[in-house]
Chains A and B, each alone.
Chain A
Amino acid sequence: MKRLLNKTLLYYTVFATIILLLSIPFLYWMMEKLYTDDVDEAILLRKKEFVTNNLRSLRINDIPVWNKFNRDIRILPDTVLSKPKDSIIQEIFFDEMVPEWEPYRVLYTKVQIENQPYILMIQLNLVESEDLIKTIIRLYLGILFSLLLVIFFITRFISNRLWKPFYDTLEKVKQFNLEQHNQPQFTVTKIKEFDQLNASLDKLIRSNLRSYTSQKKFTQNAAHELQTPLAVFQSKLDLLLQDKSLTQAQSVILQSLYEAASRLSRINKNLLLLAKIENNQFTEVSSFRLNELIEQSVPYFTEQATPKELVIEQSIQSDIALQANQGLAEIMLNNLLLNAIRHNIEKGIIEIRVQDRMLEVSNTGGSHALDAGGLFKRFGNSQTDAHNSGLGLAIVKEICDRYGWVVHYRFVLDRHVFSVKF
């Protein structure tokens, strides 16, 4: 990706160079034409001079002498030439002085000397003109090039200044985080477009924040409001279960109701937990060792893993000290371990690995990698069973985000690996 400014300058340079290069032949042609016209005028002037001053007094006998002393105006016998008359043409002659072939402008015209027809030839060398043209073009290009260079730097300077509010806004938008809930304060600018940009962004962010907050509030309120009806529902189930006249068939229905109610209250509790983490309600922070939490949890999970005959392997190679809410860290660890048990296969393996500042919980399970994108989303997992609230990993993610830990999923060698980098 190129910077906008560099892009502008690149275009500018390319087009300027092309125009400059194209202008050289045009310039050369123009200069040459101007000079040729000038030379032609000089030739015509000389002819006029010759006709007015010299022609009348010139005798045939004088011709050899004239030709001897005049290199550029010569009188030739009428017989020699089949060249066009009275128009200036361009010819190349060999110059013995230099010595090389050089371009000349030449005029042939008929004159009468002592009533004898002669041809007057007037020629002017163009060599000097070429040098002149070259010099002029060099000078011109020099000026143009320095002008270009100056304009280049001025443009850069001005663009930098002009775009400053834009980059400023960009940086602030980049740093904006919906969850941290900090409305960015854009610098005031006098440029209309940037001012409009800032105003629009401000509006957009504000409404985003508003809907984010209200969505969060809604979830929390909904979960809260559900607590009481759920409590009533569960209490009625508990009462119904005491009914002496309950039949076997009814009790089976009751059991299903119990399970549904449990699941409902679990989802609700987890939603509330998520809301509480989001709302920063776990403010109590202490120092503790992750290894200690693992030591505490493993016996419980070993017990939980027995029905599936799972083997829990531990590879503890470092000691991780954490500064966080211990309750949340426990929830995170427990959810990871529960996840590893629940999605495991019979006689599978769970490996807990602690290395450097990294915790890894890997388990055998389905033979395909899971969709890492949806995995940590709320209810992102399509396969739900009665014991899954669909929020366990979302809670893990939320806790990790809260403390700047990085949770990651990958599928390696038929193992599902969840890692947390502290």
Chain B
Amino acid sequence: MKILIIEDEEELAKSIMAYLKDENCLCEFAFNLKNALEKIDQYSYDCILLDIMLPGGDGLKLLEELKRQHKEEWVIIISAKDSVEDTIKGLNIGANDYLPKPFHLAELSARIYSVIRRKQFGNTNKALLNELEIDLLTKKVTVNDEPVPLTKTEFDLLLFFVGNKNRVISKSILAEHLFGDMWDMLNNDDFVYERIKNLKRKLADAGCKDYIKTAYGIGYKWAS
């Protein structure tokens, strides 16, 4: 899987690459618009992470260029320019997702995961993990063809874990993922714990192996 990271902040780009490399991802960098345009001209990628504010020009130009060339790269905008207009504009031009800075790498990884699943599996949109099958479109989960009834939160959690296989995810990241903007206003640790407990129980009841492990007491990990 090839990913192009267009981001002028080198340290951030490096972190993203280091985080994604386990997922047998091949990451490439572009630190400015010119560089990025050259790259998309020559190669094709599965996914592009695009920072809108770039030295040498607006990242939205790259989206226009992609559209002009009829390329089918999936684009996730990562931006500190927290402006609704730009987001809408970007999504209109052809970006597939939007992630405002600062974000957690786990969140990014989960987004990339679903973007790529959607791309690779076309209409079926199914992810297979041993005995576990997740239909991203209908949001149905089956274990050995047996349906597992999950709530929306539990499904979200499962997908987040699957998008971050073999990585430790801190509890606060999970809370932030589940509750969005309101997550840190309240003490959600217990709440996350309850949800994970339920998810584990439901999966175990359906005969799924226990993939979700606690890690160092500060987070969880999907080990497979």
B-binding residues in A (CB < 8 A): 224, 227-228, 230-239, 241-242, 246, 248, 251-252, 254-255, 258-259, 261-263, 265-266, 268-269, 272, 276, 281-282, 303-304, 307, 334, 338, 341-342, 387-389, 392
Contacts of B168 in A (CB 8 A): 241-242
Count chain B residues whose beta carbon lies closer than 8 angstroms to a beta carbon of A. Answer: 39
B142 interface residue, CB < 8 Å from A? Answer: no
User: Which of A235, A248, A254 interacts with B19 by CB under 8 Å?
Assistant: A235
Pair A266/B15 contact, Cβ less than 8 Å: no
B119 interface residue, CB < 8 Å from A? Answer: no
B56 interface residue, CB < 8 Å from A? Answer: no
A111 CB to nearest B CB, Å:
122
Pair B101/A281 contact, Cβ less than 8 Å: no
Closest CB pairs A-B (n = 4): A251-B216, A235-B15, A227-B80, A231-B102
| A232-B11, A235-B105, A252-B218 known, 19 other contacts, Cβ within 8 Å | A224-B80, A224-B81, A228-B101, A232-B12, A232-B15, A235-B15, A235-B16, A236-B15, A238-B170, A241-B218, A251-B217, A258-B170, A268-B102, A281-B83, A307-B187, A338-B186, A342-B186, A389-B184, A392-B185
Pair B186/A231 contact, Cβ less than 8 Å: no
Pair A227/B102 contact, Cβ less than 8 Å: yes
How many A-B contacts are there with CB distance less than 8 Å? 116
Pair B80/A248 contact, Cβ less than 8 Å: no
Contacts of A255 in B (CB 8 A): 170, 218
How far, in angstroms, from A422 to B184 measured CA to CA in the complex?
A: 29
Q: Hey, what's the 0/1 contact readout for B100-126 against A, CB within 8 Å counting as 1?
A: 111111100000000000000000000
Q: Hey, what's the 0/1 contact readout for B203-219 against A, CB within 8 Å counting as 1?
A: 00000000000011111
For residues 146 through 174 of chain B, which have their beta carbon under 8 Å from a beta carbon of chain A?
167-170, 172-173
B38 interface residue, CB < 8 Å from A? Answer: no
Pair B170/A241 contact, Cβ less than 8 Å: yes
B28 interface residue, CB < 8 Å from A? Answer: no
For residues 12 through 64 of chain B, which have their beta carbon under 8 Å from a beta carbon of chain A?
12, 15-16, 18-19
Pair B187/A387 contact, Cβ less than 8 Å: yes
Contacts of A282 in B (CB 8 A): 84
User: Which of A228, A235, A254, A387 interacts with B184 by CB under 8 Å?
Assistant: A387
Output the nearest chain B residue to A227 by Cβ-Cβ distance: B80
**Best-buried of B12, B82, B106, B167 by chain A (most CB within 10 Å):** B82
